[in-house]
């Protein structure tokens, strides 16, 4: 049996893109949609900044977008609008970045080097990948927009967990994004007991952030999780 596939959704600021992702997730028979709630803006990540590790800005890791018909429309609209580009200072690093964008964009390298799409795609991604105004009003619409089970990831407050369950989501994932979003956030294990108490014994509660051993799994399950997931250990 193939392993289950969950589609992770960053709620875009473009609602048509959200619908396009949801329908693509259904087409591939995804087993669930996981909506990540805690990344409406990227956290301040000093290590990534120090290392210059910002792969999206080089067109790395955005194939989900560049393969999407609605996203392609947004890129075309940006190019057609013909807004003045931010001036680029020509440095070896800038040339390397443009080369990498062209290499990572669908299509041939030579064509991509001449075309505006690779850079416009990165800019469009950065503008639209997430919606800083994401609210419960958006989440409320999900039930009508997809037949797939819905998991809300990044719940830490018991009131939010209860509200999610009241809305009919299929599971909540207690997570602080592995500590990658809000420095000094509450630990997910510390949030778990109150979340379980708030939703009662029935709803599915998952947990991640900091699970490193079997003992950690047992502790999480003793505190109310039905299952745990892993980020960095898997990497």
Ligand X SMILES: Cc1cc2nc3c(=O)[nH]c(=O)nc-3n(C[C@H](O)[C@H](O)[C@H](O)COP(=O)(O)O)c2cc1C
143/208 Cα distance (integer angstroms): 24
Nearest residue to ligand X on Cβ basis:
231
CA 210, distance to chain mean position in Å, is 19
With binding defined as CB under 6 A, does residue 11 bind ligand X? Answer: no
What are the beta bridge partners of residue 207?
174, 228
Q: Is residue 116 within the footprint of ligand X (CB under 6 A)?
A: no
**177 annotated active-site:** yes
Span of 21-29, 76-84, 118-126, 206-214 interacting with ligand X by CB under 6 A: 206-214
Rounded to whole angstroms, the Cα distance separating 105 from 117 reads 8
Pairing between β-strand 204-207 and β-strand 171-174 as defined by DSSP bridges: parallel
CA distance 121 to 98: 12
Closest separation in Å from C-beta 235 to ligand X: 6
In contact, 44 and 184? CB cutoff 8 Å: no
* Alpha helix segments (H runs only) across the chain: 15-27, 46-51, 63-66, 69-81, 92-104, 109-114, 117-128, 136-145, 158-166, 188-199, 214-222
Over its C-alpha atoms, the chain yields an Rg (Å, rounded) of 20
For position 36 contacting ligand X by CB under 6 A, the verdict is: yes
The smaller minimum CB distance to ligand X, of residues 30 and 98, is found at 30
From the CB of 233, what's the least distance to ligand X, in Å?
A: 6
Task: Measure the CA–CA gap between 4 and 29, rounded to whole angstroms.
Answer: 10
The verdict on 209 binding ligand X (CB under 6 A) reads yes
105, 157, 177, 234: the active-site residue = 177
Q: Cβ neighbours of residue 214 under 8 Å, at least 6 residues apart?
A: none
Size of the residue set binding ligand X (CB under 6 A): 16
207 binds ligand X (CB under 6 A): no
Q: Which of residues 37-76 bind ligand X (CB under 6 A)?
A: none
In the complex with ligand X, the residue whose CB is nearer, 69 or 233, is: 233
Given the complex with ligand X, which of 102 and 195 has the nearer CB atom? 195
Of 146-205, which residues contact ligand X (CB under 6 A)?
153, 175, 177-178, 180
Q: What amino acid positions are annotated as catalytic residues? A: 177
Footprint of ligand X (CB under 6 A): 8, 36, 153, 175, 177-178, 180, 208-211, 230-233, 235
């Amino acid at each position: 049996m193939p392993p289950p596939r969950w589609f992770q959704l960053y709620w875009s600021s473009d609602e048509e893109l959200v619908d396009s992702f949801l329908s693509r997730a259904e087409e591939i028979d995804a087993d669930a949609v996981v909506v990540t709630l805690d990344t409406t803006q990227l956290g301040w990540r000093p290590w990534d900044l120090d290392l210059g590790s910002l792969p999206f800005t080089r067109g790395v890791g955005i194939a989900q977008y560049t393969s999407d018909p609605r996203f392609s429309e947004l890129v075309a609209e940006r190019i057609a609008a013909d807004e003045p580009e931010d001036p680029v200072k020509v440095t070896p690093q800038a040339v390397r970045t443009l080369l990498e964008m062209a290499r990572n964009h669908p299509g041939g390298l030579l064509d991509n080097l001449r075309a505006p799409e690779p850079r416009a795609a990165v800019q469009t991604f950065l503008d639209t990948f997430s919606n800083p105004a994401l609210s419960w009003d958006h989440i409320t619409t999900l039930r009508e927009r997809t037949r797939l089970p819905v998991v809300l990831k990044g719940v830490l407050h018991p009131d939010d967990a209860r509200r999610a369950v009241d809305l009919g989501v299929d599971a909540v994932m207690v997570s602080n994004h592995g500590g990658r979003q809000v420095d000094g956030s509450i630990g997910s294990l510390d949030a778990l007991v109150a979340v379980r108490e708030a939703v009662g014994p029935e709803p599915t509660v998952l947990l991640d952030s900091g699970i490193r051993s079997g003992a950690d799994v047992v502790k999480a399950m003793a505190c109310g999780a039905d299952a745990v997931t892993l980020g960095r250990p898997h990497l």
